[in-house]
Amino acid sequence: MAETMEQEKKEAGSGSASVRGRSGKVRIIIPIVLVVLAVGGYFLWTYLSSYESTDDAQVDGHVNSISARISGHVTEVLVEDAQYVKAGDVLVKIDPRDYEVAVAKAEADVADAEAAVMSSQTDVPITSVTTESTLKGAHSTKADAVAALLSAERQLNAYHARLQSAQAQVAEAEADYKKAADDVGRYKQLVAKEEVSQQQYDQAVQTAAAAKAALSAREASLQEAQQNVTVAEAAIQQAQARIAQADASVQQAMTGPQQVAVSRARLKGSEAKLLEKKAALDQAKLNLSYTTIVAPVSGVVGKKTVEVGQNISPGQQLLAIVPLDDIWITANFKETQLQHMKAGQKVKFSVDAFGRDYTGRVTGIGGASGSRFSLLPPENATGNYVKVVQRIPVRIDLDPGQNEDHHLRPGMSVVPKVYLQ
């Protein structure tokens, strides 16, 4: 019994020793665990606070709407939805015949306007030379007419003097003839009485005949002098008429600068008309070029509504092209997440459609919240204001080479992580 009690005492001592050993280990492990948890929590907090993430993000990109610039009848449609096209590929063809006719008419109008310009260009120097020549000729004609007038006036004065002399000579011849005739009458009576000789009577008769002949000659000279005066007066009137005509020609020629100005104005009008016709030709050629609709960018065709045989009008949307080489990420972060966010920060994001991560950079932060860009922006001045955390769009551009396979499509959902450090 004593042995049993001693054994129990030994067992009790060894049990208390083992309990003391386990308690010591626990006291050592607990601080270690706490330290590990603290360190792990610090690193976890550091990691979680090193980036901002959101699930309100999607792939974004341009959607180039292709519309008609002219009206016409569609003859060919060379693409289908989801087809990849390159920039410059023909998409749709419109019947070009009406526009070819318009180009031909515009070319004819341009040729006609060019001919009018050439004619006006020729008229300007011709008008200038003609008016100058006319002015010189008018001055020369006037000078000749003035000289002729002076000459006619001198001749008229001379003829007037001759006329007066002829009139005096006629008066003298009349007096001589009257005396001779009176002598003949007296001698005739004396001969009958034989108071004078027959010879004296015959001599008186001859003297009277000579006086009569002289009177006739003087009268002829008088008539000639009168005719000369009439001719000289007519010459004066003719010279005066020529002077008046020359003055009128000078006045007309003096309008030469105005005529030249009119010709030049006509030339400018023709040139302006030519420019107008050339512009119409350029427009007709543009309209003809619009009958072939080509892809402005490389991308995937979508939203195609055009079909062969359709009549389309200007501005009508035919299809759309989405360029897959120019896409980015639009992430709508809460305003509380933007405190440390800035352009240039590194971004990693995943796409729901693919099991891989992409990288990029923050390019910029939007100028307003998404609600401000909505169709009906909220009006907070109604008295029923409830504060709601707003979201601001952040643009993220992909790093080069991230979308070479063109798998990303605008509208795909992504989950970005913007690393703030």
State whether residue 317 is helix, strand or coil. strand
Q: Rg of the chain over CA atoms, in angstroms? A: 64
**Residue-level pLDDT at 360:** 95
Q: What is the 3-state secondary structure (H, E, C) of 342-384?
A: CCCCEEEEEECCCCCEEEEEEEEECCCCHHHHCCCCCCHHHCC
Domain 66-95+290-319 class, CATH top level: mainly beta
DSSP 56: -
**Residue-level pLDDT at 17:** 55
What ranges do the domains of the chain cover?
66-95+290-319, 100-274
**Residue-level pLDDT at 216:** 77
- 274-310 pLDDT, tens digit per residue, is 899 999 999 999 999 999 999 999 999 999 999 999 9
Interacting residues of 341 by C-beta distance below 8 A, sequence separation 6+: 52, 333, 362, 365, 394, 418, 420
Per-residue pLDDT of the chain (421 residues; tens, 9 = 90+): 455 555 555 555 555 555 555 666 777 787 777 777 776 776 666 555 678 999 999 999 999 999 999 999 999 999 999 999 999 999 999 999 999 999 999 999 999 988 888 877 665 565 565 566 665 666 666 677 777 777 777 776 776 777 677 777 777 777 777 777 776 677 676 667 666 667 776 776 777 777 777 777 777 777 877 787 787 778 778 877 777 777 666 666 555 566 556 667 777 888 888 899 999 999 999 999 999 999 999 999 999 999 999 999 999 999 999 999 999 999 999 998 998 899 999 999 999 888 789 999 999 998 888 777 777 777 666 666 677 888 999 999 999 999 988 899 999 999 999 998 7
CA distance 311 to 246: 72
pTM of the model: 0.58
Q: Which of 86, 89, 90, 88 is nearest to 75 (CA)?
A: 90
CA distance 258 to 264: 10
**Residue-level pLDDT at 195:** 65
Q: Does domain 100-274 have CATH number 1.10.287?
A: yes
**Distances in Å between the alpha carbon of 74 and those of 70, 217, 255?**
11, 111, 61
**Residue-level pLDDT at 415:** 93
